[in-house]
Structures are given as structure tokens and as C-alpha cells.
Amino acid sequence: MEFLRPKTVEEAVELLDHPHALPVAGGTAFPGKPNAERLVDLTSLELNYVEERPDGFHVGATTTIAELERSPVAEMAGGYIRQACEFLADTPLRNMITVGGNIACGHLWAHLPPVLMTLGARTIIAGKRKRELTVYEVVSAGLQRGELIQEVIIPKLGGRGVFKKFALTRTDYAAVSVAVYWDELGRRVAVGGLVRPQRLGDLEGQIDITPELLDRAVDELNPVPHPHFDPEYRKHVLKVLLQRAIAEVEH
Ligand SMILES: Cc1cc2nc3c(=O)[nH]c(=O)nc-3n(C[C@H](O)[C@H](O)[C@H](O)COP(=O)(O)OP(=O)(O)OC[C@H]3O[C@@H](n4cnc5c(N)ncnc54)[C@H](O)[C@@H]3O)c2cc1C
């Protein structure tokens, strides 16, 4: 297996144009990719930054979770992103796991995608052609061969957000996760852990969340099996976390 360390994004894109090439950033999710013949390390591309610009916070894809947690964007919206970072695996892993890797890995339990979905974050995708995708588009459809996440743009928002997770321990993989953002324009809700991270539109348009509405929104989900918790129990936990997060963020 080849392990290549390009110095520029253009060089990385060229090296990734190979049938069995994979980008690698923090390297924490690689045991599950046995077919890769060429690993293209993204950590020398100088994509470690969090910059505040007029259109939002620009976060380079190889910024680690530990770096993100210490940056000004973590404190926006009542420390919303900090909440998602602080129990994301343990301290050594937070020094390795990258923002781009957490979005691209496709893990149900990844903390950043639901939070970024509620904030309306966009990703800049480098490839033969540069394009912009929402975080949901990356998580649901994935990237094409030869593409990589270069940057994430997080709008500067003045509301409040609450992230909650349920897991065996505080730092274990999330079996259920909930991200709720609220400002004067309304409420945005996303879930993860038991299903692929996604918005729950049914809970966004209504001011009052009745038990019937909550049941309907959650019962439509089809949880992926979990080694410790059965699907009905996780759905019950999801309803409790949603109620708590919505109450906390709006009162
Ligand atoms: C024990 C343990 C516990 C964990 N707990 C949690 C948790 O509670 N919550 C949580 O959110 N995460 C958790 N994680 C991390 C998560 O499961 C992934 O391992 C991590 O998000 C992958 O990030 P990475 O930077 O290491 O990516 P890598 O392992 O380098 O890559 C992961 C995948 O993403 C692709 N990739 C990486 N960077 C890019 C990019 N810039 N553009 C395109 N594709 C890219 C790679 O090709 C690969 O397919 C945990 C990990 C471990 C090992």
C-alpha cells in the first residue's frame, strides 16, 4: 500500500484520482477500509485553521476537534459547537480526529454533522471541479472519486444551540444524538446516533411540540441496530433528549 503526503490541494486531488485511493486525515476510522491501495494524507495541505470572515467561520478540513473546541466558533450560539466537541471520544482522539474526517466518515454517531446541519454549514469540495455542498449532501450522498472536503463554512448566528448525546459512557460512541438550534427565525432540529444524521423537519415548523407530534416524528425513524440498546429504547431516549434540548434552548 502506498502512503502519499501531497503538499497542495491540487496535488492531493490528482493523487486521489485512482480507483483504490482514499484520503486520510486523523486516521481514526481506517480499520474499516481494507481495500485501499493508496492513502493520500491530507495533513500537510495546511488546512488547519479557523478564520472569522464576513460570511462566517471558515474551518479548514484538517482542523482537529481539539483545535475546533478552542476556537471562537466553538463559543457561538451559547457554546453549541463546544458542547458537540467536549465528549467527542477522549482527549488523545480529539487531538487526531479532524473536522473533515468527522463529516466524511459517514458514522451514525459522528457529533459534528447534526450540529452543522442545524447551523446551515456548507462544505467546499475540491476535485477536478470545485463545488459547494451542504453537510447533509456530503453525509447522505458522499463524495465522488478524487474529491475531498477542503473547508467548512459555518454562518455566524446569534441564536442558541444545545447538543445532547446518549451513550454507554460520556465519551463513547453516541447511541442517540440530538442537535437543536433556535433563534428568532425558528427552530432547527437534527438527530444522529440511531440513524444517519438528518434534520427532523416535522419538529421545526410548529411552535408547540405536542406528544403526538413528537411520537410521529420519531416513530418514522428506522434505527440501525446497536450492540447494547434495542431500537424502541433508543427511540424513547430520543424523545426525552429532544424534549429536553428544545426546552433548554427556548426557555
Ligand atoms: C474509540 C473511538 C471513539 C469515537 N467516538 C466518537 C464520538 O463519540 N463521536 C464522534 O463524533 N466521533 C467519534 N469517533 C471518531 C469517528 O468515529 C471517526 O473515527 C472520525 O470522525 C474520523 O475522523 P478522522 O479525521 O480520523 O478521519 P479518517 O479516519 O482519516 O478518515 C475517515 C474517512 O473520511 C475520509 N476523509 C477524511 N478526511 C476527509 C476529507 N477532508 N475529505 C474527504 N474525505 C475525508 C477518509 O477517506 C475515510 O473514509 C471515535 C473514534 C474512535 C476510534
C-alpha cell at 71: 476556537
Q: What is the pLDDT of residue 31?
A: 57
CATH code: domain 160-250 is 3.30.390.50
* Phi, psi dihedral angles at 181 (to 5 degrees): -120, 140
Q: Whose CA is nearest to atom 13 of ligand 1?
A: 89
Q: Which atom, in ligand 1's list, is nearest to the CA of 33?
A: 49
4 φ/ψ sector (left φ>0, alpha ψ -120 to 50, else beta): beta
Q: Indicate the burial class of 244 (C-beta count within 10 angstroms; 0-12, 13-18, 19 or more).
A: middle
Please report, in tens digits, the pLDDT of each residue of the chain (251 residues total): 899 999 999 999 999 999 999 999 999 997 556 678 899 999 999 999 999 999 999 999 999 999 999 999 999 999 999 999 999 999 999 999 999 999 999 999 999 999 999 999 999 999 999 999 999 999 999 999 999 999 999 999 999 999 999 999 999 999 999 999 999 999 999 999 999 999 999 999 888 899 999 999 999 999 999 999 999 999 999 999 999 999 999 87
Residues with CB under 6 A from ligand 1: 22-30, 33, 42, 61, 88-89, 93, 96-98, 100-102, 104-105, 107, 109-111, 143, 148-149, 173-174
Cα dihedral 219/223/225/231 (nearest 10)? -20
Q: What is the pLDDT of residue 250?
A: 87
Q: What is the pLDDT of residue 181?
A: 98
Q: Whose CA is nearest to atom 10 of ligand 1?
A: 110
| CA 110 – ligand 1 centroid, Å | 8
| CA 113 – ligand 1 centroid, Å | 12
- Site to probe by mutation for ligand 1, drawn from 1, 3, 28, 164 as the one with most ligand atoms within 8 Å of Cβ, is 28
Question: Start-end ranges of CATH 3.30.465.10 in the chain?
Answer: 2-37+48-154
Q: Which CATH number fits domain 2-37+48-154: 1.10.10.10, 3.30.465.10, 3.40.50.1110, 3.40.1280.10?
A: 3.30.465.10
